[in-house]
């Protein structure tokens, strides 16, 4: 990956809807060269998806919650069961296995506190592998970006 590939990736991170011609104009490369490079970056797995980012509040998901989870036991079966539950729960936008006093950290989007309470009680804490969950409600978003600092 050279500096031109990095520039293409930087531009795509800010606007993946650009046409091949527009991307070529912004990089100073030919359209054919840009097309080949983008195809190569995608084939290498560096571009994993092209998506539309939605405004959570605008689609009725105005409550953001950070939840830290502890498992009952740290065996493979519990981890697999928890991660299967996470993958099946559309409310969970992000999940990280973490070090420290908790096993996982979740970013959850819900319509409101009542919807989160329902998810917490009926899904998360209803799981036999979850020992406890600590919740923090996001008051205000200071920074949000999907762009990697390349």
Point out which residues pair with 134 in neighbouring strands: 68
Which pLDDT score is estimated for 60? 97
Domains identified in the chain and CATH numbers: 3-43 (1.10.10.10), 57-137 (3.30.70.920)
Neighbours of 83 (CB within 10 A): 14
Which pLDDT score is estimated for 110? 98
**pLDDT, tens digit, 9 for 90 and up, residues 87-141:** 999 999 999 999 999 999 999 999 999 999 999 999 999 999 999 999 999 999 9
Place of tokens 């006093």: 101
Which pLDDT score is estimated for 85? 98
Query: pLDDT exceeding 70 applies to what percent of the chain?
Result: 100
Which pLDDT score is estimated for 91? 97
Q: Where are the alpha helices (DSSP H) in 44-141?
A: 76-87, 113-119
Tokens of 60: 């009725």
pTM of the model: 0.87
Q: What is the mean pLDDT of residues 17-24?
A: 95
Which pLDDT score is estimated for 27? 95
Which pLDDT score is estimated for 134? 98
Which pLDDT score is estimated for 111? 98
CB 71 within 8 A of CB 103: yes
Point out which residues pair with 94 in neighbouring strands: 107
Q: Where are the alpha helices (DSSP H) in the chain?
A: 3-14, 20-27, 31-43, 76-87, 113-119
Q: Where are the alpha helices (DSSP H) in 44-142?
A: 76-87, 113-119
Output DSSP code: residue 131.
E
Sheet of 130-137, strands arranged across = 92-97, 104-110, 63-71, 130-137
Which pLDDT score is estimated for 10? 96
Tokens of 28: 């100073």
Which pLDDT score is estimated for 125? 98
């Amino acid at each position: 990956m050279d500096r031109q590939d990095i520039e293409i990736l930087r531009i795509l991170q800010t606007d993946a809807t650009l046409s091949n011609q527009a991307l070529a104009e912004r990089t100073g490369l030919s359209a054919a060269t840009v097309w080949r490079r983008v195809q190569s970056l995608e084939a290498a797995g560096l571009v994993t998806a092209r998506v539309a980012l939605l405004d959570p509040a605008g689609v009725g998901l105005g409550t953001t919650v950070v939840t830290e989870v502890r498992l009952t036991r740290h065996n493979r079966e519990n981890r697999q069961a928890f991660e299967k539950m996470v993958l099946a729960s559309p409310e969970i936008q992000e999940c990280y296995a973490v070090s420290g006093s908790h096993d996982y950290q979740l970013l959850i989007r819900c319509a409101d506190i009542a919807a989160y309470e329902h998810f917490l009680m009926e899904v998360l804490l209803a799981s036999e592998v979850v020992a406890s969950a600590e919740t923090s409600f996001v008051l205000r978003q200071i920074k949000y970006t999907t762009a990697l600092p390349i």
